[in-house]
Amino acid sequence: MNKILITYSTKTGNTKKVAAAISELNKGIELKDISEVTNLDYDLVVVGTWIDKGTADTKALKFIESISNKKVAFFFTLGAYPDSQHAMDCTKNITELFEKNNNTVVGHYHCQGAIDPQLIEFMKKSFGADHPHGPNPERIKRWNDASTHPDENDLINAKKAFEEIFKNF
C-alpha cells in the first residue's frame, strides 16, 4: 500500500471519531490532528473537517489551501441533514477549494454531527423562531436528530466509502 495520511480538524470530537474509524482500515495509515502535520510526503492526503458557515472550518480551510498537486479525499461532519442541499453545497465548496490548487479529489464522505450544546443554547436565547438560526420546530428537530451522530452506522458507512477509495492506493 502507498502512504496515506488522514488528518482532521475537530472542535467537539465528531470529525475525530470519523477519522479514527477510517484509520482502522489499515495499520499503515497515519492519523494526525491537522495542527500536527509537518509534511505532505504521502500518496493520498485525506482531510476531515467540520462545517462552519457552509464550508471547511478555518483550520481545515487554511490546510486545504496549502495543498497543491496532490491526490486527496475528504470527509466532513455537519449539523444539517446529510441528504440536504446544504450538504451538497458543502461538498461542492470543499471540492472547489482542492481543485483550485490542482489537486485531484478521488472521493469524499459526510455525515451528520452533534451540534455543540452551547451553540444551541446561544441560538435559542439570542434568536426568535423566525430568524434563520432561530429555534423553530423544524430546526429543533434537526438539532435533536443531529445529537446522536456520528453513530455506529455513520462510522460503518465511512469505512465502506474509504475502503473503496483506498483500493486504488
Ligand X SMILES: Cc1cc2nc3c(=O)[nH]c(=O)nc-3n(C[C@H](O)[C@H](O)[C@H](O)COP(=O)(O)O)c2cc1C
Question: Distance between CA atoms of 48 and 124, rounded to whole angstroms?
Answer: 29
Question: Distance between CA atoms of 13 and 17, rounded to whole angstroms?
Answer: 6
Query: Could you tell me the sign of the dihedral formed by the alpha carbons of 81, 150, 157, 1, in that order?
Result: positive
Piece of 51-59, 102-110, 127-135, 159-167 that binds ligand X (CB under 6 A):
51-59
Piece of 39-47, 49-57, 94-102, 123-131 that binds ligand X (CB under 6 A):
49-57
Task: Answer yes or no whether residue 80 interacts with ligand X by CB under 6 A.
Answer: yes
Piece of 31-39, 78-86, 128-136, 154-162 that binds ligand X (CB under 6 A):
78-86
Which residue type, as a one-letter code, is found at position 93?
N
Q: Which residue is nearest to ligand X (CB)?
A: 113
Task: Answer yes or no whether residue 116 interacts with ligand X by CB under 6 A.
Answer: yes
Task: Answer yes or no whether residue 52 interacts with ligand X by CB under 6 A.
Answer: yes
Burial class (CB in 10 A: 0-12, 13-18, 19+), 121: exposed
Task: Answer yes or no whether residue 82 interacts with ligand X by CB under 6 A.
Answer: no
6: cell is 488522514
Q: Least CB distance from residue 63 to ligand X, whole Å?
A: 14
Question: Distance between CA atoms of 8 and 33, rounded to whole angstroms?
Answer: 5
Task: Answer yes or no whether residue 51 interacts with ligand X by CB under 6 A.
Answer: yes
Q: Least CB distance from residue 68 to ligand X, whole Å?
A: 25
Task: Answer yes or no whether residue 83 interacts with ligand X by CB under 6 A.
Answer: no
Give the residue among 132, 18, 46 at the shortest CA–CA distance from 86.
132
Task: Answer yes or no whether residue 50 interacts with ligand X by CB under 6 A.
Answer: yes
Helical segments of 66-169, H only: 85-100, 117-126, 137-146, 152-166
For ligand X, the closer of residues 28 and 54 by Cβ is 54
H or E element, residue 82: none
Among 35, 39, 53, 83, binds ligand X (CB under 6 A): 53
Binding site for ligand X (CB under 6 A): 10-15, 50-54, 77-80, 86, 113-116, 119
